[in-house]
Structure 1
Amino acid sequence: MFHKILIANRGEIAVRIIRACREMGIRTVAVCSEADRLALHAQIADECVCIGPAPSRDSYLNMQAILSACEITGAEAVHPGFGFLSENSAFARLCERCNVKFIGPSPESIDRMGDKANAKTTMRLAGVPVVPGSDGAITSMAEARRIAREVGYPVMVKASAGGGGRGIRRVDNEDALEAAVTAAQQEAQSCFGDDTVYLEKFIVDPRHVEIQILADEHGHVVHLGERDCSLQRRNQKMIEESPSPSPLMNDALRAKMGEAAVSAARAVDYHNAGTIEFLLDTRGDFYFMEMNTRVQVEHPVTEFVTGLDIVQQQIRIAAGEPLDLRQEDIHLTGHAIECRINAENPALGFRPSPGTVTALHMPGGPGIRVDSAMYAGYTIPPYYDSMIAKLIAYAPTREQALAKMKWALAEFLVEGVDTNVEFQLELLRDPDVERGRYDIGFLTRRMEGK
């Protein structure tokens, strides 16, 4: 087991990893930008190294600075969290060259699943259901038009190196195809430095259901059930829950999706924690969408319903330990819901709201968990993602978990900056959300009054 781990991230996920390490008796090294010198993760780690100015490219994306911090502190491993360098195969390779263990999959697995177009081809060959569309990246508009006609409109244009809802365009007819492809390519180049895109059939009114997997370095792979992430705005998840409230979800479908996720992991010789994301249509058919080769923002809901610590499992796998779990050992118990709390103003188009937290009260009690790096007096910097907390509620039933979450949101107080707490509370009071009757287009239709 490692004696010291460096956390190459910030905010609540860095705090989450530090706490997991502390429970395991592992010393931690935080890294911070100049803007984060007073951040919670920088204060509670055993050591902290400032790695550069505020902009991410000069700090949290600075591979050389991070590995230099490993060298001067003696950290044997790096946990990348999510975002930043977590799915960067070049960084994983650099860690290998520097004899620092990357707590995640191999660079080869990241490459194979990080390119969405290639991942889709790999899954098709592995027998995992995929959405009809291009076989890899599209190379010309003539090819795009041909494929769109074959699968039928509407279609989706997606960035091959995409993530976080970037580089995605819906196209309803051929007249709009060229403009959508060009826009997706430009956004992909700007966000990911890669303008390749692929095309797939748009599945009408699907749910976004993902399967959490764990895979060790000895060939053992298990899945931990599903999370429903259909409540999202502009392809950005807002609320997640486990198990899925879809009326289509049952033990047989869950097992089938889980088996497909395990097959997907085996197809790329995957190890560590990962998530296979699917679209589930109104007939109960599901299609591979992408794989996230890292820990997910929404991992706490799975931890609640399985009783497992996913971050600690990641660390044990990276240390070479075999999984001590069999598939038959894993059972989903109760229901968990997560709300992402952002420093933003929903009334102003969800405009980010950085600033100083002048007063703070976070809810608690049985079945309530808050993952956050906030404290009263903390100044939220304008340079990074606007998520400031994750609020998770757990109870024996979905109805009880919803009630608990509503009270927790009503109790959540943040002064000094705007947040989306009230927006989340109103959303959970919607009769359709209360009944679990929603899909990935639900929030867009609701906000547009349709």
Structure 2
Amino acid sequence: MARHRILIANRGEIAIRIMQACEELGIDTVVVYTKEDQDSEHVQKVIRKSPDKAYRIASYKDPNEIFSVCDQAKCTAIHPGYGFFSENFRFARRATLRNRPITFIGPRWEVIRDLGSKINTKRVAKTLKIPVIPGSYAPIYNEIEAEALAEELFFLQKEQGIQHPSVLVKASAGGGGMGIEEVRELDAFRQAYRRIQNYARRQFGDEGVLIEQALRDYHHLEVQILCSKHGEYVHFGTRNCTIQSTGRQKRIEIAPGFDPDTISYPFDAKKVLNEIVEYSLRLAKHVKYDNVGTWEWIVTRDGKPYLLEVNTRIQVENGISARISRVKKIGQPNLIKEQIRCALGEKIGYNQNHISFEGTSIELRIVAEDTKRGFAPWCGTITTLKFPSYDWAEVHTHVPTSRPYKIPTEYDPNLALVIIWGQNTNEAIQRAKEFIDNTQIEGVGPKGEPIITNLSYLRERLDASLRFE
């Protein structure tokens, strides 16, 4: 591999994981941070070792600052992590086409552009005979047209005997559960449409809106794919991320996506898992996808899969896919390392026949939030953070364990990601509960009130992870 220096254009635990992956690959890194993040471990780890490789910036969302640091630090590539610029095709295009090109660690900008649009993804999927959710196949900019489609979707649901029909209004350029509103009455549609259109205009510069039937009683699944610039395509199985907050933010993920050996499903679960993997690879090959990506699916109680969207980036939960995967002569893969290798032009070097799967893995997203008050974020200072040590668990956190840490109010109060592995689903769930029971988190709020976390919620929801309730 040619000599590279990568700017990590992100924060928190993902910045640390990218740093570690680069270190294992022998690649030099540079980090950026804001004033609010100066006490984060992703910053302090670098400052303690090489302070000249940590650059303070005003915002993670200012592309001019990011590129300026790239030039100043003589970086050859940018890793966007997830969020921020990770699915911004304009940022990726600018990196590629500027006078001093910088490699964007992700797919080609054209692919990010094309798959970043839910409308275009649906349109392409439909031509490939991949099932998609009933609704619009082109962005809607006209309120009257949108309301007419919504009325038709309400009518069709009533004809199907659905007692409580509803539609989803989505920003067509959105992703990650953002820019979505459910409408249960046609009379409320116009206001919801206007809110989402305004949100889409502010966030994405495109006020196109997607109208879809709101499906009920489903599971949210994912397929983890890795591709290279050399026409190689492999997958690392499926995940289930049905346990989410009221704002559609994932809280528990589990791989594989279903477990028919342990749980009885009203459909052929193995067949459905194979179908969504095949569909995902079909679309990836059609668009000549060339990096890591996640294909998101809805699977209804009767076993019908529908493509939801494609996330053209590394996912928070990539670690559980890696944890159940075994690559011949390599062992357990690191998908962040694989992403970096492929972005820098290397071949994957193995094919699907070299990949096997073993056991069940669970990711717990530990967050300072009040799950009984709509997952409201908790603000304050962490005074104690202690995790148990097991060979079947790994913890990723940017929160220091040796000193107090004030949670920045500017960002989500995520505290840690915990990845659990078991020989089977029941063992993985019991181990996850054991881990939660032996985790100690203490803190105080602005008025001296004790910290609130989602640990109890996570423990209570574990048994429902793979089941249709």
TM-score, scaled relative to structure 1: 0.91
Shift of 1:39: 1.7
Aligned match of 1:201? 213
Q: How far is 1:64 from its partner? A: 1.6
For residue 429 of structure 2, the aligned residue among 366, 381, 402 is: 402
Q: Is residue 2:453 matched to residue 1:419?
A: yes
Amino acid aligned to 1:437: R
Asked if 2 retains the 8 angstrom alpha-carbon contact of 1:7 and 1:79, the reply is: yes
Matched, 1:23 2:24: yes
Aligned to 1:350: 375
Deviation at 1:419, TM superposition (A): 1.7
Moved more, 34-43 or 106-115: 34-43
Q: CA deviation at 1:149?
A: 4.3
> What's the RMSD between the two structures over aligned residues?
1.9
Q: Distance in 2 between matches of 1:284 and 1:345?
A: 34
1:280-335 alpha-carbon deviations (Å, 9 max, x no partner): 11222211110001000111110100122100001110111111221222222100
The one-letter code sitting in structure 1 at the alignment partner of 2:455 is V
Q: Is 1:305 paired with 2:324?
A: yes
Change (3 A) 1:145 1:37: closer
Query: 2: CA distance between counterparts of 1:347 and 1:368?
Result: 28
* 1:349 Cα deviation from its structure 2 partner: 3.3
Shift of 1:94: 1.7
Q: What residue in structure 2 maps to residue 226 of structure 1?
A: 238
In the other structure, the counterpart of 1:146 is 148
Cα deviation 1:168-226 (Å, max 9, x = unaligned): 12233432322221232233334434322111122221111110100100111112111
- The unaligned stretches of length 5 or more in structure 2 are 158-165, 260-264, 326-331, 444-450
Kindly indicate whether the alpha-carbon contact (under 8 Å) linking 1:355 and 1:380 is maintained by their aligned counterparts in 2.
yes
Task: Report how far residue 22 of structure 1 moved.
Answer: 1.2
1:106 aligned residue (84, 87, 108): 108
Deviation sequence 1:409-444 (CA, Å, 0-9, x none)? 11111211432112212222x5xx17x323xxx6xx
CA pair 205-351 structure 1, distance change in 2 beyond 3 A: same
Q: Per-residue displacement from partner, 1:229-251 (whole Å, max 9, x unpaired)?
A: 11112311111100123634644
Q: Which residue of 2 aligns with 1:448?
A: none
Structure 1 position 156 matched with structure 2 position 190: no
Shift in Å, 1:256: 1.8
Q: Is 2:340 aligned against 1:315?
A: yes
User: Secondary structure, in 3 states, of the residue corresponding to 2:253?
Assistant: strand
- Once the two structures are TM-superposed, the CA of residue 81 in structure 1 deviates from its matched residue by 0.4
Q: 1:354-393 maps to which residues of 2 (within 5 A)?
A: 354-375=379-400, 376-393=403-420
Partner of 1:86: 86
* Distance in 2 between residues matched to 1:169 and 1:220, nearest whole Å: 38
Deviation at 1:268, TM superposition (A): 2.2
Partner Cα distance (2:388, 2:91) in 1: 38
What is the DSSP-based 3-state SS (H/G/I as helix, E as strand, rest coil) of the residue aligned with 1:341? strand
Question: What is the identity, as a one-letter code, of the residue corresponding to 1:85?
Answer: F
Letter in 2 for 1:406: K
| Amino acid across the alignment from 2:43 | A
Do the aligned partners of residues 167 and 413 (structure 1) sit closer, same or farther apart at CA in structure 2, a change above 3 Å counting? same
Paired position in structure 2 for 1:238: 251
Q: Does 1:52 align with 2:57?
A: yes
CA shift at 1:52, angstroms?
2.3
How far, CA to CA, are the matches of 1:42 and 1:427 in structure 2? 33
Structure 1 residue ranges without an equivalent (≥5): 54-58, 443-450
Residues 1:437 and 2:429 are matched in the alignment: no
Q: Which amino acid aligns with 1:60?
A: Y
Cα distance, 1:383–1:48 mapped onto 2, change above 3 Å = farther
Partner of residue 178, structure 2: 166
Local SS of the residue matching 2:22? helix
Deviations 1:134-179 (A, max 9, x none): 1211232332243334442432111112123222122334323222
User: Quick check: 352-361 or 272-281, which moved more?
Assistant: 352-361
Match of 2:447 in 1: none
For the 8 Å contact 1:353–1:418, the answer to whether it is kept is yes
Contact 2:200–2:206 (Cα < 8 Å) also in 1: yes
Measured in 2, the distance between the counterparts of 1:128 and 1:347 equals 38
Q: What displacement does 1:377 show?
A: 1.8
Deviates more, 1:239-248 or 1:311-320: 239-248
Shift of 1:388: 1.8
Q: Distance in 2 between matches of 1:252 and 1:201?
A: 25
Contact 1:166 1:188 (C-alpha < 8 Å) held by counterparts: no
Amino acid at match of 1:360: L
Secondary structure at 1:384 match in 2: coil
Cα distance between partner residues in 2 of 1:268 and 1:386:
36
Q: Give the match for residue 138 of structure 2.
A: 136
The answer on 1:277 being equivalent to 2:289 is no
Cα separation, 2, equivalents of 1:314 and 1:150? 43
Q: Distance in 2 between matches of 1:113 and 1:99?
A: 23
| 1:446 counterpart residue number | none
2:245–2:375 contact (8 Å) kept in structure 1 = no
Matched, 1:119 2:117: no
Q: Is the 8 A contact 1:34 1:50 kept in 2?
A: no
Kindly indicate whether residue 361 of structure 2 is the aligned counterpart of residue 336 of structure 1: yes
Matches of 2:442 and 2:391, distance apart in 1: 25
The equivalent residue for 1:72 is: 72
CA contact (8 A) 1:51 1:65 kept: no
TM-score under structure 2 length normalisation: 0.87
- Residue 104 of structure 1: how far off its partner (Å): 0.2
In structure 2, C-alpha distance between the alignment counterparts of 1:105 and 1:166, rounded to whole Å: 22
Whether 1:290 and 2:317 are equivalent positions in the alignment is no
Distance in 2 (CA, whole Å) between partners of 1:245 and 1:256 is 13
Cα deviation for residue 29 of structure 1 reads: 0.8
Q: Distance between the aligned counterparts of 2:371 and 2:273, measured in 1? A: 35
Query: Any conservation in 2 of the 1:274–1:294 contact (CA below 8 Å)?
Result: yes
| 3-state SS, counterpart of residue 312 of structure 1 | helix
What's the % identity of the aligned pairs?
38
